[in-house]
Structure 1
Amino acid sequence: MLPSSLFWQRKDTAGAEHVLADSSDGLYARGTALAVDPIPYTCRYELRTGPDWTTSYFDVAAEGAGWARTVRLELAAGRWRVTTAEQGNLDAVLAAAGHAGAGLPGTEDPDLLYGAFDVDLSGSPLTNTLPVRRLGLHHPTTDDTGVAHRLNVAWVLLPSLEVVAADQIYTALGEGRVRFANETFSADIAIDDDGFVLDYPGLAQRAGQPHPQRAG
């Protein structure tokens, strides 16, 4: 049994994420995410980090009508091992819904993920907490407030479970806010005292726990 329960309602599409977690010594979490875009799918995952919040293990399964995929990411000695499986034909399901085909699950070259210490599951507010806690951005010092941290992360796309290396920037703004940015997007995320997302503009909000209104 895990002591914490987190639930987010998606804003960008019909969907939600429910996570059971223990963050007493790093993070152990089991989560379920559901969404209807680009096609209806269910995603279940298990996540472990070390005490320093560096991801050590991420096991993800996604499924929908006529298809199922899994990917497992394991980080050891600075290198990622990626294991995948798939059933059915996700490309055919996407094509029937008028969408482009999906990439294969996982990555052909895990070395492209070298230097990544965090995973980012597409559409998941939980995984934003990983760099926040690893870098201590939930309680930044005066010197660290406003400093941009450029990261390389292992980005797991849904529903395909393709894994790509992605550049992301996290900046502690103080007053329970962290700025997330990449080359094309930026959002100021409200977080609680433990670094978990309260409100991610345009993506998701914690159900039953609206973020406080802040001056400015």
Structure 2
Amino acid sequence: MANSNLRTLVWERLDSPGTGMAILDRQPPWTVRGAVVATASVPHVLRYRITCDPGWAVRSADLHAEGAGWARELRLSRDGGTWRVTTQETGSLDDALNAAGHPPAPLPGADDPDGLSGVLDVHVATVPLTLTPLLRRTGLRLDGEAVEVRSAYVLVPALSVISRVETITMIDPTTVTLTRDGHCAAVEIDSEQLVTHYPGLVQRID
């Protein structure tokens, strides 16, 4: 018998050839695991597992990015308001980027993990499902009021982590605007607040 708590979602990449698939476990604690295959910067695959607590704050995030001749791993785990950040790298992502004509990547992890103190959300650049816990935790309403959130933003494929402020506004039941660094995107969501379309990034095809 199929597990009704599980849901599979698939996205097509819009910024470069690629695709993503995720398996969502709705049973508490909310957990999602999946993979993204992309050709942006250098061809790579990103595998991830993210778990939230009952209040929709991210408890842990495990990420593994890999391409020809290199691999990087990142683990973020939260205890209260404090984050522990661990990383590992084999081979050289910078060599792969250089061969493709791109500048070197920042180091994996966070320069200053203490700078993530108090952060409750992890937003992975190429994983649209990481917006869902943030949307549910903040409890956005249809009143046009913007909510400002500071998240641990993970760059892919570098797996470097920066503290980033994002402003979210619910426009209608299926659209939220996400603003950061002067850029605003109208992100479409379904009734479970799962992303269906992120302009310039992904389109869900499940």
TM-score of the pair, normalised by structure 2: 0.94
Counterparts of 2:38 and 2:183, CA distance in 1: 21
- In the alignment, what sits opposite 1:91? 94
Instruction: Give 1:27 deviation, angstroms.
Output: 1.8
Instruction: Give 1:128 deviation, angstroms.
Output: 1.4
- In the alignment, what sits opposite 1:200? 198
Q: Which amino acid aligns with 1:133?
A: R
Q: Which moved more, 1:21-30 or 1:195-204?
A: 21-30
Give the alignment's Cα RMSD to 1 decimal.
Answer: 1.3
Q: Name the SS of the counterpart of 2:134 in structure 1.
A: helix
Counterparts of 1:188 and 1:35, CA distance in 2: 22
Q: Which amino acid aligns with 2:70?
A: W
Structure 2 residue corresponding to 1:100, chosen from 94, 98, 103? 103
- Structure 2 unmatched ranges of 5 or more: none
- In the alignment, what sits opposite 1:62? 65
Q: Which amino acid aligns with 1:197?
A: V
Tell me the percent identity: 39
Contact kept in structure 2, 1:26 and 1:52, CA below 8 Å: no
Counterparts of 1:177 and 1:77, CA distance in 2: 31
Contact kept in structure 2, 1:151 and 1:168, CA below 8 Å: yes
Instruction: Give 1:107 deviation, angstroms.
Output: 1.1
Q: Which amino acid aligns with 1:168?
A: E
Matched, 1:175 2:173: yes
Counterparts of 2:66 and 2:202, CA distance in 1: 21
Counterparts of 1:101 and 1:203, CA distance in 2: 22
- In the alignment, what sits opposite 1:213? none
Deviation sequence 1:130-172 (CA, Å, 0-9, x none): 21111123xx2x5xx2111111110111111011111111111
- In the alignment, what sits opposite 2:32? 29
Q: Which amino acid aligns with 1:148?
A: A
Consecutive aligned runs of 4 or more in structure 1 exceeding 3 Å deviation:
none
Matched, 1:150 2:148: yes
Instruction: Give 1:188 deviation, angstroms.
Output: 1.1
Q: Name the SS of the counterpart of 2:98 in structure 1.
A: helix
Instruction: Give 1:26 deviation, angstroms.
Output: 4.8
Deviation sequence 1:41-70 (CA, Å, 0-9, x none): 000011100111100000000000000010
Trace 1:125-144 onto structure 2 (pairs within 5 A): 125-137=128-140, 140=141, 142=142
Counterparts of 1:103 and 1:19, CA distance in 2: 26
Q: How many residues align?
A: 203
Q: Which amino acid aligns with 1:192?
A: D
Deviation sequence 1:81-100 (CA, Å, 0-9, x none): 00100000111110111000
Q: Name the SS of the counterpart of 1:52 in structure 2.
A: coil
Matched, 1:113 2:120: no
Counterparts of 2:80 and 2:118, CA distance in 1: 11
- In the alignment, what sits opposite 1:13? 16
